[in-house]
Each structure stands twice: as structure tokens, then as C-alpha cells.
């Protein structure tokens, strides 16, 4: 068609008298302009790149394209005769291209379109990169009103569009990692929950916080910290579940939104993979660093319906994971809010206990595995709260670490242990635990030196027990601290070996004199299917080769003690010899002259049972009963409260908070039943058990309950299974806790 045809398509005059426009004043003025002047004007418009022109035939194949526009296609492939839809792809400005009609659809409609954003197909990987145009098209018809093609304009907006995209990306994406930022993640969570609510689906929210990142940032510098965050983001992208949206919401906090996933077994497996991936060593500017990760998981609609509600639930779960020792995940449960409040209360009262003397040290003997003579004691902190009773160190030590009380607590423990050990006869050692945060305190060597000087304890009688978590962060600073402590003449022991971030290279560099085998390997090591014995043997061989003493922790049974003796373990520590006792009891033993401890314990190891005492709901047929849960394992439980239930009976057990399991009675005697679960329970990340799935709030809403997150309680199963007609006679006699019996109705 050429330029003359373009002008004709926009209403201009040509030499063909049949096609002269009969428009009014404007057309008349245009008609007064000569054809040559018009062509010159069009050429100047094209040359100035104010607009380019394109023309198609009736098949929407390109018959003309301005030369400047042709040059935009760097491949220089033939363009004339190509369908326009093969050259241009429509784009939506907000990035949601699925909502935009394709170019082929616009052209097939044979109607006008204006300022349509498009990109050039096939130019993505060219040196110039992707190009962006806005195009306008006007259909052309002959005098018989038959479609003869399109005439249109195009304009290159690549520079301005890329700038707009860049500004938009800065508003929604993290400049450091390239992940979505808090603003975008908030929007995506709101959209995901709206969609899930409309379609009655689930959506998981995972909050992730890095452990020991601050130490890396402080010791290696902020540029190294930035590089570490970039590497963490790349690892998360590789290990995140399919369909998850990943974002960095600030500092060392990340977030994952996972639509259509409520299986807590699958989520737990994903959380463990993330923790393992994040915990692998990093190489940063020639230095090695190790960090960890803690995760909190909440699932809509079970734990929250609205974004703020679900985010708060995930935050509480993360708080619980960090409080449980870090490097773990935790699912949200309704009791976490109360636990968080209790944690804050413990923090305040721990401050008071440090001042008022509410803490005390107990000592557990470390006994020679061959002659059962004590060689030293481990100092273990105890807190007997006047109202709450004994609060275990596993509860208050993490709180002390998070609230910056750990240094004061550690200093007190070190001083008290050394003061007590000075009174012991001979060369008995005292082992004092040093937390990772205390170990990273630059003042630790000076504190140890001051305590040794003030108490008069010889450095050789002090042993500092350090867990593998000290290797998290900057490895260089850890090695420097080891060297400073070793110069003092104290001994160094690696505690809980094999359970943390162990590496043989660290053993080679760190001046340890002892390895303590964690009790998780000792438990059940005598059982044939347990690999603990083989692991202990391997650790023992390693320690021997490096001239280290070996201590086995947590020995409780005679068969375990025999195994430790056969494996030639140097020292044994556990209930089989003694629990941790007060200084007065230690002195009474030592003053008697009896340094030998006689083993006392069961002949064989017994597998640990989770003994509980709480009410659960039991549904059989259309009747709901209340029973007491005594023991719980992954595959079954022991319940009490129903009389003479036949073996083989199928029951529905309501564990609370929407957790329903189908169970079969395998043992039954009087009012006690042993039941086997149809689907095994899974870990809740904190040492407890939970069901993979829960009753959906959408299902509860269908039987008349309000649509809300799952409330606490144990009777939700009854709401779902309750029939609308007449109820049958209850099959079993229910026995209450007080011993009286009643028929359930």
C-alpha cells in the first residue's frame, strides 16, 4: 500500500476519485493540500519517530511498515507478508498478561483499538533486549463495506516503559535479593486468602528468621552480611515448594506463601529441608560462615481467615520455634499465645532471680566407665520458682539468650561453679556450660581469668562445655576465641556432639580435649535396629585418633552401661549413677571418702512414652463420648473412659483444635483401650505430635458454625458427625474421672 495508502486509510485524498472523502470542513481543508505535500509530511513524521505506520491486508498480514520500525527487529527477518500477531504480543501494564486479549483476537474483531501496549516477539534474547511499543489500529473497508485490512500507527516507548517497570519493581521488590518485599508480600497474601476463601481452599504462611545472622554482620561487616542475604535468597528459591511465593520482609526475615497446601506432614518436611539448606556453610569474601534458620507456620483457614490474623499466628509459631532452641520449625496452635505471655513473664522474673538469688547450681558426676570412680562433675543450673515450681534450663536459657540476660547468667554460673569446685578434694574437674551467645562475647576470656583468680581454682580443673552452635556465624572469630581461652589453661569440651553444625574440620582446628556424645545416640543403642551403637563407635574412634577423652551422656539402663563399657567409653554421665544434686550432697559424698558410684537402674532400656493426661472426644456412630488420653505415639494412643469396647471397633478420636483421627481398638480391658491410628501423626516441630489434616472451618460453617479460625476445644468432631434425625442408643458406657458411670447421649 505504501505511504499513499496509509494516508488514504486515515481519510486523506488520493488520485482515485471513487475514494474521495465526503467529510465536512476538516476534510475539505485537508483536500486542499497537495498529495506531494502530504507524503512529505508523513515522511517527516516517520523520520522524527513521532510515529511509525503499518498496514495489513484482509488476512491481517503486514503489507507495509515504516523503515524505522523495521530496524527495531534486530533479526532483520522478512516482515512483509507476516501475520501481525506473529510479530507483536499484547501486554498488560500491571503484569497480569492473562487478562489481556491476544493480538490475533484484537485483529479478528475488525474494530479500532488505541494505545495498546505490545512487545516485539522473538527479540527477548537479542543484544538490544526486549522492545516495547504502543500501537493504534483502524480497520479499513471498501465501498461495499468489505474488510480490506488495517492501517495503524506505532511508537517505541521502550525507554520510558523500562523506567516505569524499574520504578514499579523498586516499590514491590527487595533491591538486595530481588525477592518480593513486605509491601508486595502483604498484597499477595491478601489476594491469596481472598481467592482461597472464595474457592474454599487452604493457604500456608511460613515466617523464617535467620539464626546468628547478626553475629556475621557484626564481625565480617555489612557488605558481607548483604552477600550472605543474597546467598540465602538463592538457596530459598531452590528449595521452596512448588507454587510458593518467596519474599524478604525486612532484615533477616523471609516469608513464604504456599497456596493449596494444608498437609502438615508435607509442610514439616519442607521446613526441615529449608533449615538444612540454610544451615550449610557459606563462603563470603574468603571467610566461612554458618547460620541457622527458625520457621513458624500457620495455615488458613484453620489458624486465621484474614491476613493480619494469619500473620500473627505465623509470628507466634516463629517465636515458639526460636524459644525452643532455634534451628527448628513450629506449627501454630491456640496455646502459643498463652506460652508467649508466659515467656515474657519468665523473662521478667528471671531478671529478679538473678538479683535475689533464686538460682542455684546442681552437680552431676562424670564417672569412669571402667572403675566407676568419679572424675569430675558437670554444673547444671536450676531454678525453683516459688509459684511455678522447677523451671528447666531448656525453658529459661533460650529466654536469657533472647533478652540479653545470658552474659549475666553465664557469669553467675561460672563464678558459683568455681567457688563450689574449690571445696572438692584432689583434682576433680568442674564442667560449666557456655552458650553460643556467651561464647561470642569478647569479654569471656577476661571473665574466666577474673573468676579463676578470685576463687583460686586452678585453670586445669575448669572445663568449658561448648556446643556446636558456636561454629555458627564467622568461623574466624570462633577460632580466635578458642585460642584465647586455651591460653588460660582451661579445658575445652564439645558438648552434644553430632546434633548440631558439626564438621571434622572444626575439630581439627579447635583445641578440644573432650567430646561428649549426646544422649540421643545413647538412647536405645542396644536395640538391633538402632544405629546409635555404630555412631558411638565411629565417634570414639575419631576421638581416640585426636587424643580426646570421650563422655557418654544420658546413660540410664544397665544394658546401655554395658555397651558403653564394651565401646571403651572413658566417662559415663547419667541417671544410672546419679541425678544432678546440690553442693551439700556432693560434699557429703566426697567427705565420706567414697569416690565410687554404684550403678542403679533398669536392666534394659525402655522406649520413651509420651504420657499425657487430658480430655479428648471420642465419636462412635452418632454419639460423642469424653475420654482421657494417657499415652500418645505417632501410630496410636491409650484412652480411658469407655467400658468394654470390643477389639476391632472403629472410633473417631478428637485430639482438639480440629485434629481428628480415625482409630481401631487393638487392645481393650475394662475402661481402657489401646487404639491404632489409620494415619500416623506427624511432628509439630517442637517435640510434640499433630495430625496431618484438620477439620476445615468451611465444613464447620456448613453445619451452622461461624466461619472463623479453629477454636480451642475437643468437641468439633461431634459438630461434624452429628446427625439430623433421631439418634440411636449409645453403644458404650462412659466412665467419668471420678469413677461414676453414665450412658452417653
Give dist(CA 646, CA 668) in Å, integer: 7
Per DSSP, the three-state class of 194 is helix
Report residue 245's pLDDT band, with 50, 70 and 90 as the boundaries.
very high
pLDDT digits (tens, 9 = 90+) for 398-413: 888 877 888 999 999 9
Residue 633 or residue 604, greater confidence: 633
Sheet containing strand 741-743, strands side by side: 642-643, 733-735, 741-743
- Residues 407-448 pLDDT 10s: 999 999 999 999 999 999 989 999 999 988 888 888 999 999
Count Cβ atoms within 10 A of the Cβ of residue 312 and give its class: 0-12 exposed, 13-18 middle, 19 or more buried. Answer: middle
Is residue 365 located within the same domain as residue 304?
A: no
- Residue 286 is predicted with a pLDDT of 84
CB–CB of 256/273 below 8 Å?
Answer: no
In a domain, residue 382? The reply is yes
Give the CATH number for residue 365.
3.20.20.450
Phi-psi region of 122 (alpha: psi -120 to 50; beta: other; left: phi over 0): left
Considering the domain boundaries, does residue 3 fall inside one? Answer: no
Structural domain for 68, as ranges? 49-164
d(CA 260, CA 280): 29
Please give the residue that has the higher pLDDT: either 459 or 43: 459
- What is the rounded average pLDDT of the residues 61-68? 90
In a domain, 460, yes or no: yes
Q: Is residue 134 part of a domain?
A: yes
More confident residue, 705 or 194: 194
What CATH number did the domain enclosing 118 receive?
A: 3.30.450.20
Digit-coded pLDDT (tens) for 662-679: 999 999 999 999 999 999
Tell me, yes or no, whether 484 and 535 share the same domain. Answer: yes
pLDDT score at 236: 97
Residue 35 placed within a domain: no
Please work out, in degrees rounded to the nearest 5, the angle formed at the alpha carbon of residue 409 by the alpha carbons of 406 and 413.
135
| 177 in Cβ contact with 255 (< 8 Å) | no
Who has greater pLDDT, 638 or 603? 638
What's the rounded Cα separation, in Å, for the pair 512 and 505? 12
Tell whether 409 and 459 lie within a shared domain: yes
Q: From the DSSP assignment, how many helices (H) and strands (E) are in the chain?
A: 24, 35
pLDDT at 331: 96
Give the whole-angstrom CA distance, residue 279 versus residue 603. Answer: 39
Mean of all residue pLDDT scores within the chain: 85
Q: Which of 591, 626, 652 is the last residue of a domain?
A: 591
- Answer yes or no: do 266 and 391 share one domain: no
Tell me the pLDDT band of 13, cut-offs 50, 70 and 90.
very low
Q: Look at residues 145, 164, 183 and tell me which one is the last residue of a structural domain.
A: 164
Q: Which three cell numbers stand for residue 667?
A: 487392645
Model pLDDT for residues 501-527, shown as the tens digit of each residue: 555 666 766 788 998 988 878 876 766
712 and 584 both lie in a single domain = no
Nearest to 572 by CA among 378, 414, 424: 378
How sure is the predictor about 694, in pLDDT bands with cuts at 50, 70 and 90? very high
Q: Which of 311, 334, 357 is the last residue of a domain?
A: 334
Q: Find all residues with CB under 8 Å of 99, minimum gap 6, and list them.
A: 92
Q: Is 200 left (phi over 0), alpha (psi -120 to 50) or beta?
A: left
**Does some domain include residue 434?**
yes
Same domain membership, residue 584 and residue 451: yes
CA–CA separation, 311 and 303 (whole Å): 9
The pLDDT assigned to 181 comes to 94
Q: 358-372 pLDDT, tens per residue?
A: 899 999 999 998 899
* Same-domain status, 450 and 551: yes
Residues 656, 694 within the same domain? yes
Residue 54 maps to a domain: yes
CATH of the domain at 676: 2.40.10
- Phi-psi sector, 76: left (phi>0), alpha (psi -120 to 50), beta: left
**How many beta carbons lie within 10 A of that of residue 527, not counting itself?**
14
Confidence of residue 70 (pLDDT cuts 50, 70, 90): confident
pLDDT, position 21: 41
Number of domains in the chain: 4
Q: In the numeric block, which cell numbers belong to residue 276?
A: 538444612
Could you tell me if 328 and 476 lie in one domain?
no
pLDDT at 741 exceeding the cut of 50: no
Same domain, yes or no: 400 and 509: yes
What pTM value is reported for the model?
Answer: 0.69
Return d(Cα 116, Cα 131) in angstroms, integer. Answer: 14
Residues 604 and 558 sit within 8 Å (Cβ to Cβ): yes
Percentage of the residues of the chain whose pLDDT score is greater than 70: 84
579 and 705 share a domain? no
Evaluate whether residue 38 is within a structural domain.
Answer: no
pLDDT digits (tens, 9 = 90+) for 271-286: 999 999 999 989 988 8
Q: Are residues 488 and 508 in the same domain?
A: yes
What CATH number is associated with residue 240?
3.30.70.270
Alpha carbons 181 and 634: distance in angstroms, whole number = 39
Give the rounded percent of residues in the chain with a pLDDT score beyond 90: 49
Q: What is the pLDDT of residue 99?
A: 56
Strands (E), 26-93: 52-56, 62-65, 88-90
72/234 Cα distance (integer angstroms): 35
Question: Parallel, antiparallel, or unpaired: how do β-strands 374-385 and 429-434 relate?
Answer: parallel
Amino acid at each position: 500500500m505504501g505511504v499513499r495508502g496509509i494516508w488514504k486509510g486515515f481519510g486523506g485524498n488520493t488520485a482515485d476519485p471513487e475514494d474521495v472523502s465526503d467529510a465536512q470542513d476538516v476534510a475539505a481543508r485537508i483536500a486542499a493540500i497537495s498529495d506531494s505535500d502530504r507524503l512529505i509530511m508523513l515522511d517527516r513524521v516517520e523520520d522524527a519517530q513521532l510515529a511509525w505506520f503499518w498496514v495489513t491486508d484482509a488476512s491481517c498480514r503486514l503489507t507495509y511498515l515504516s523503515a524505522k520500525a523495521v530496524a527495531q527487529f534486530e533479526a532483520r527477518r522478512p516482515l512483509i507478508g507476516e501475520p501481525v500477531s506473529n510479530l507483536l504480543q499484547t501486554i498488560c501494564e500491571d503484569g497480569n498478561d492473562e487478562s489481556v486479549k491476544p493480538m490475533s483476537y484484537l485483529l479478528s474483531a475488525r474494530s479500532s483499538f488505541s494505545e495498546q501496549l505490545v512487545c516485539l516477539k522473538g527479540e527477548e534474547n537479542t543484544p538490544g533486549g526486549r522492545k516495547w511499543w504502543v500501537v493504534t489500529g483502524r480497520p479499513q473497508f471498501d465501498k461495499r463495506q468489505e474488510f480490506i485490512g488495517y492501517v495503524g500507527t506505532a511508537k517505541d516507548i521502550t525507554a520510558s516503559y523500562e523506567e516505569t517497570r524499574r520504578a514499579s519493581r523498586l516499590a514491590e521488590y527487595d533491591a538486595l535479593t530481588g525477592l518480593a518485599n513486605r509491601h508486595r508480600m502483604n498484597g499477595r497474601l491478601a489476594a491469596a486468602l481472598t481467592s482461597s476463601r472464595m474457592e474454599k481452599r487452604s493457604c500456608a504462611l511460613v515466617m523464617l528468621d535467620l539464626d546468628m545472622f547478626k553475629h556475621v554482620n557484626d564481625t565480617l561487616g555489612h557488605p558481607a552480611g548483604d552477600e550472605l542475604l543474597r546467598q540465602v535468597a538463592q538457596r530459598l528459591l531452590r528449595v521452596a515448594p512448588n507454587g510458593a511465593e518467596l519474599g524478604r520482609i525486612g532484615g533477616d526475615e523471609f516469608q513464604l506463601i504456599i497456596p493449596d497446601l494444608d498437609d502438615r506432614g508435607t509442610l514439616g518436611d519442607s521446613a526441615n529441608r529449608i533449615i538444612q539448606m540454610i544451615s550449610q556453610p557459606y563462603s563470603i569474601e574468603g571467610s566461612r560462615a554458618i547460620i541457622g534458620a527458625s520457621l513458624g507456620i500457620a495455615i488458613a483457614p484453620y489458624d486465621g481467615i484474614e491476613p493480619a490474623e494469619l500473620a500473627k499466628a505465623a509470628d507466634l509459631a516463629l517465636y515458639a520455634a526460636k524459644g525452643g532452641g532455634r534451628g527448628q520449625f513450629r506449627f501454630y496452635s491456640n496455646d502459643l499465645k498463652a506460652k508467649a505471655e508466659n515467656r515474657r513473664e519468665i523473662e521478667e522474673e528471671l531478671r529478679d532471680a538473678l538479683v535475689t538469688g533464686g538460682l542455684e547450681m546442681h552437680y552431676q558426676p562424670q564417672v569412669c566407665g571402667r572403675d566407676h570412680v568419679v572424675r569430675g562433675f558437670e554444673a547444671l543450673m536450676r531454678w525453683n520458682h516459688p509459684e511455678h515450681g522447677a523451671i528447666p534450663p531448656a525453658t529459661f536459657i533460650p529466654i536469657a539468650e533472647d533478652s540479653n540476660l545470658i552474659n549475666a547468667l553465664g557469669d553467675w554460673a561460672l563464678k558459683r561453679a568455681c567457688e563450689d569446685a574449690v571445696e572438692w578434694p584432689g583434682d576433680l574437674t568442674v564442667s560449666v556450660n557456655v552458650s553460643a551467645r556467651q561464647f561470642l562475647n569478647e569479654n569471656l576470656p577476661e571473665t574466666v581469668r577474673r573468676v579463676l583468680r578470685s576463687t583460686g581454682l586452678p585453670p586445669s580443673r575448669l572445663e568449658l562445655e561448648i556446643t556446636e552452635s558456636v561454629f555458627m556465624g564467622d568461623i574466624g572469630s570462633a577460632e580466635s576465641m578458642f585460642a584465647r581461652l586455651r591460653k588460660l589453661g582451661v579445658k575445652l569440651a564439645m558438648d552434644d556432639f553430632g546434633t548440631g553444625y558439626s564438621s571434622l574440620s572444626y575439630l581439627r582446628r579447635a583445641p578440644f580435649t573432650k567430646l561428649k556424645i549426646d544422649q540421643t545416640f545413647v538412647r536405645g543403642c542396644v536395640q538391633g535396629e538402632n544405629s546409635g551403637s555404630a555412631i558411638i563407635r565411629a565417634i570414639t574412634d575419631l576421638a581416640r585418633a585426636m587424643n580426646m577423652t570421650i563422655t557418654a551422656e544420658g546413660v540410664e539402663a544397665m544394658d546401655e552401661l554395658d555397651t558403653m563399657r564394651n565401646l571403651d567409653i572413658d566417662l559415663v554421665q547419667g541417671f544410672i549413677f546419679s541425678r544432678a544434686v546440690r553442693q551439700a550432697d556432693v560434699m557429703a559424698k566426697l567427705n565420706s571418702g567414697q569416690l565410687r558410684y554404684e550403678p542403679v537402674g533398669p536392666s534394659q532400656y525402655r522406649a520413651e512414652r509420651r504420657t499425657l493426661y487430658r480430655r479428648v472426644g471420642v465419636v462412635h456412630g452418632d454419639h460423642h463420648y469424653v475420654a482421657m488420653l494417657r499415652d500418645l505415639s505417632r501410630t496410636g494412643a491409650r484412652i480411658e473412659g469407655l467400658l468394654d469396647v470390643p477389639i476391632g471397633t472403629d472410633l473417631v478420636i478428637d485430639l482438639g483444635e480440629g485434629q481428628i483421627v480415625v482409630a481401631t481398638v487393638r487392645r481393650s480391658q475394662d475402661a481402657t483401650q489401646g487404639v491404632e491410628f489409620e494415619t500416623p501423626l506427624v511432628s509439630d516441630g517442637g517435640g510434640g505430635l499433630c495430625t496431618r489434616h484438620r477439620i476445615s472451618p468451611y465444613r464447620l460453617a456448613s453445619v451452622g458454625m461461624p466461619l472463623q479460625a479453629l477454636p480451642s476445644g475437643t468437641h468439633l468432631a461431634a459438630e461434624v458427625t452429628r446427625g439430623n434425625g433421631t439418634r440411636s442408643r449409645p453403644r458404650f458406657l462412659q466412665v467419668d474421672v471420678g469413677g461414676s458411670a453414665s450412658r452417653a447421649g
